[in-house]
Amino acid sequence: MKNRMKKILTVAMVSIAAMLLLVGCGSKKNAGSGANSKPAKIVIFQSKVEITDDLKALAKEYKKEKGVTVEIWGTTGDDYITQAKTKLSNRNSSPNIFSTAGGQESQQLGAYMADLSKEPFVKNIAKDKAYISDGKVLGLPYSVEGYGLAYNTALVKPDQMKSTDDFINFLKQAKSAGKYSGFELSQESFFLIGHMLNTAFAVQKDPLAFLKDVESGKTQLQNVAAFKDLAKIYEAIRQYTPNPLQVKYDTQIGDLMTGKVAMINQGMWINTMTSSYKNSDVKLEMMPFPIGGNDKLAVGVPLYWNVNKNKPANEVKASEDFLNWLVSSKTGQNYIVNKFKFIPAMTNIKVDEAKMDTLSKAVYESSQKGNNIPWSYGYWPVGAVDTDFVPIAQKFFTDKSMTGTELMKQISVAFVSASQKK
């Protein structure tokens, strides 16, 4: 009996020891998943290929300062969203930080986004430049970009361009004088129709609610004041300026920089092309396009940084730490301004405005003050500009019997049909 009891006690003690060992192993295994423990590595997947090399260099700087390895994955913008969906769906090998372009693209990947609302950087995001969904900050802006009327200061002044009628009269007078064209559009899709259509949407009281009414057919564009202005503007462009279907982007920039045209509807991104005209004495500024009483530049965010909430807690925390460091440290801010060449979307990142070109400066100041209209086209049906609207605009410029009102009417119908393909 005594021996039997010893055996039972021995087995019990061995079992308890084994259980304790398993618990201990389990604790060690999960030790690295706590929010406060540093992971060995975080991975960033993003599509802005022009900053990939500098981003990799920045990752090395971060490793030196914070001891966390940051691996950079890159791809082209054309198939980024498809790749992102695939990579994010694999929980084990998915990236920690990814990027989206806002609008429908961000909505498609919203289920993967961590809530960043309590992060320190949020208070420094410029007005209306965070990606917010259901009241939560889900995206940190890369930068801001903007567009309006880029104009030759020797040929036109902002005081001459306060209304749609001012714009049309200027085109008419310029053609009559015959020294230069008052304005040029170019044939590329967003330059031909997307940007000006966006301005008419953006001046609405609630652009997203307005879009829903247009897509449902409840509201027809040709009956709305801003689009009536746009209809008149397109008729004037067809009558008094070169045919946009015969003007390419680089031709448009060349005409602006050689004094052949007074103004174009473009953004600060043209500075890489205008700077190549070393012998040009043309001085450029940017002013709002006067559609529907608009008096603001169209400023938006091309991409947002998002954190994958489905990764272990310590990796989510490390990803948030990296983004905070990116926009608050001297190293990160230097890369944003001087390496990436971004116009910051953060009020705590200062730039030397004396070193900025005039178009970028105009966009920067507009963004910092929050004095701008949004890029509403991010919420339009995906691909609608190229597939649905451009053919209608092309028809307008080849068929002179088609009125501006008819142009707006056909685009309105196209919004309805495009929305049904979502």
Interatomic CA distance for residues 407 and 392, integer angstroms? 7
- Evaluate if pTM is beyond 0.85: no
Q: Of 94, 80, 77, nearest to 319 (Cα)?
A: 94
Interatomic CA distance for residues 89 and 310, integer angstroms? 10
**Strand 145-152 to strand 297-300: parallel, antiparallel, or no bridges (unpaired)?**
antiparallel
Contact between residue 186 and residue 322 where contact means Cβ atoms under 8 Å apart: no
Q: Over the stretch 230-289, which tens digit does the pLDDT of each residue have?
A: 999 999 999 999 999 999 999 999 999 999 999 999 999 998 899 999 999 999 999 999
Where do the H-state alpha helices sit in 31-118? Answer: 52-66, 80-89, 103-108
pLDDT at 400: 95
- List every span in the chain annotated with CATH 3.40.190.10: 34-144+301-349, 145-300+360-419
pLDDT at 50: 87
Contact between residue 302 and residue 269 where contact means Cβ atoms under 8 Å apart: no
Q: Over the stretch 310-331, which tens digit does the pLDDT of each residue have?
A: 999 999 999 999 999 999 999 9
Q: Of 12, 70, 20, 22, nearest to 46 (Cα)?
A: 70
For residues 321-340, one letter each, b for 16 or more C-beta atoms within 10 angstroms of the residue's C-beta and e for the rest, the string is bbbbbbbbeeebbebbbeeb
Quick one: CATH architecture of 34-144+301-349?
A: 3-Layer(aba) Sandwich (3.40)
Single-letter code of the amino acid located at 204: Q
Cα angle: 310, vertex 75, 356; to 5 degrees: 105
Interatomic CA distance for residues 244 and 237, integer angstroms? 9
CA distances from 43 to 72, 94, 140, 317 (A): 6, 8, 17, 13
Q: Of 77, 130, 135, 139, nearest to 110 (Cα)?
A: 139
In this structure, how many other beta carbons lie within 10 angstroms of the beta carbon of residue 253? 22
**Strand 41-46 to strand 97-100: parallel, antiparallel, or no bridges (unpaired)?**
parallel
Cα angle: 126, vertex 127, 131; to 5 degrees: 85
pLDDT lower than 50: segments of the chain: 1-32
Query: Which CATH number is 145-300+360-419 given?
Result: 3.40.190.10
Where do the H-state alpha helices sit in 258-381? Answer: 271-274, 313-328, 330-334, 358-369
Interatomic CA distance for residues 178 and 20, integer angstroms? 92
Q: For tokens 């999960």, what's the residue?
A: 30
| H helix or E strand, kind and range, residue 132 | strand 131-133
Interatomic CA distance for residues 384 and 382, integer angstroms? 6
pLDDT at 76: 66
